[in-house]
Amino acid sequence: MAAEDPVTMDKLVSLCKRRGFVFLSSEIYGGLGSSYDYGHYGVLLKNNVKAQWWRAMLQERDDVVALDSAIIQHPATWQASGHLAGFTDPLVDCRTCKLRFRADKLEEASCGRKPSKRPGETPECDLTEARDFNLMFQTTIGPVREEGSIVYLRPETAQGIFLNFKHYLQFSRKKPPFGIAQIGKSFRNEITTGNFIFRMREFEQMEMEFFVPPPEAAQWHGHWLEQRMNWWVALGLRPDHLRLRAHGAEELSHYSSATSDIEYEFPIGFSELEGIANRGDFDLRAHAEASGQKLEYVDGASGERYVPHVIEPAAGVDRAVLAFLSDAYDEDEIEGERRTVLRLHPLLAPVKVAVLPLVRKDGQPELAGEVYRALRERVQAEYDEGGAIGRRYRRQDEIGTPWAVTIDHQSLEDRTVTLRDRDSLAQERIAIDELGEEIERRLRAPWRSPKLAG
């Protein structure tokens, strides 16, 4: 049995703030609900997550191409996609405490009174009937605010892909099965907020629309479920914290004939990390009808034409960051001292290697500087010469740096250094000339979470 997992949401929020991963947005003005800013290490971690997604989607396949579409699209997009009519949450207001709740999540909400009760639970609660509330943010385009100038911030990146489908058939000479992948910001005026970066009003999505001949849709849905699950596991998420959950008929979105969620056991319990939907031909047909354009594949040789079906793996970048942080967070004891450590997969770690002179004299900082400049040519590295060596190790452990190089008096004599491993704490003596190769070798090696038992 593994030791009890020490992670809690409060500990993650506090580590993220203390070490500069994530801050509450506009904090000096008291913060803005469900908006967060990423600090230095958060940016590096998020970039690594996105780079690994692109790697799996593009570099390691030859049937997916990339797109970066506009956030503000023609408003007809949202009419055709069904978002104007259907992208809503049912809301109820309490006339007594003046708070607003999602009607389908009342059992998870707390009402305004203390001690906290569920909305509707006390005799004073006076809830309205549920009303539909659209989650899209509106703004206007152009200098005049008038009828026809209303536009929306996209609530998903997927529609930009459907709008460009025609271009891809022409320029990329792709034929189904093929996919178009995109990473970008999406916006939703979410009602149930809280839970840190799990649910934000402005967040990033990694979505891929995979266009297939209709008879092959179910088979490709299975393929993508497997691929995506393997991706999360290969990047270190513990398999016992992941599960697949198929949507029931009542839960399916208006466009979907089958959806399965990959759920991760966050500190708040099992929740959606990524959705993998079979969208059928709903979107291409809807946009073809609304735009009057033909959005279909025509086979040059046989003349066969059809509207492809679409399989969509849709993941959130911020939820991925939260899952990787939760999975990595650990506490242990070294020589009687408590340590907090992020056991991140080395490929995701914001900094791969820290270079630390043991003392700030005797030529050690100069040699350490030379080692650092050579290493940063290859990987994200950090130099730190301030304070006791133990404190500097602790700091790197807290940001998840997998390796630390220490320069000591022997280094000046024989050009060797010690290479310390974050998880095993093993320290090996290694020649400076071999360091870069060794770190790149370790980065490529398979990795398994040390939090897994056995």
Q: Are 246 and 259 in contact (CB under 8 A)?
A: yes
In whole angstroms, give the CA distance from residue 339 to residue 356.
19
200 binds ligand ATP (CB under 6 A): yes
Query: Is residue 361 packed enough to be buried (19+ CB in 10 Å), middle (13-18) or exposed (0-12)?
Result: exposed
161 binds ligand ATP (CB under 6 A): no
Q: In the sheet that 353-357 helps form, which strands lie side by side, from edge to edge?
A: 381-383, 353-357, 403-407, 416-421, 427-431
382 binds ligand ATP (CB under 6 A): no
Rounded to 5°, angle at Cα 240 from 235 and 241: 70
190 binds ligand ATP (CB under 6 A): yes
Which CB, 244 or 412, lies closer to ligand ATP? Answer: 244
> How far, in Å, are 361, 371, 413 from residue 364 at the CA level?
6, 11, 11
Q: List the beta bridge partners of residue 124.
A: none
In whole angstroms, give the CA distance from residue 378 to residue 436.
7
Helix (H) / strand (E) element for 436: namely helix 435-444
81 binds ligand ATP (CB under 6 A): no
Stretch touching ligand ATP by CB under 6 A, among 49-57, 269-277, 282-290, 443-451: 269-277
Stretch touching ligand ATP by CB under 6 A, among 62-70, 196-204, 225-233, 400-408: 196-204
Binding to ligand ATP (CB under 6 A): which residues in 317-336? 318-319
188 binds ligand ATP (CB under 6 A): yes
Helix (H) / strand (E) element for 132: namely strand 131-134
Q: Are 382 and 393 in contact (CB under 8 A)?
A: no
Which CB, 287 or 319, lies closer to ligand ATP? Answer: 319
Instruction: Name which of 417, 430, 380 is nearest 402 in CA terms.
Output: 380
Shortest Å distance, C-beta 78 to ligand ATP: 14
Which CB, 209 or 382, lies closer to ligand ATP? Answer: 209
Tell me how many residues contact ligand ATP (CB under 6 A).
16
315 binds ligand ATP (CB under 6 A): yes
Task: Give the chain's radius of gyration (CA, Å).
Answer: 25
Shortest Å distance, C-beta 325 to ligand ATP: 14
Shortest Å distance, C-beta 324 to ligand ATP: 13
Binding to ligand ATP (CB under 6 A): which residues in 205-234? 205
272 binds ligand ATP (CB under 6 A): yes
Please pick, from the candidates 46, 102, 154, 199, the single residue that binds ligand ATP as defined by CB under 6 A: 199
Shortest Å distance, C-beta 89 to ligand ATP: 9
In whole angstroms, give the CA distance from residue 350 to residue 15.
14
Please pick, from the candidates 176, 275, 308, 313, the single residue that binds ligand ATP as defined by CB under 6 A: 275
Q: Which residues bind ligand ATP (CB under 6 A)?
A: 156, 188, 190, 199-200, 203, 205, 272-275, 314-316, 318-319
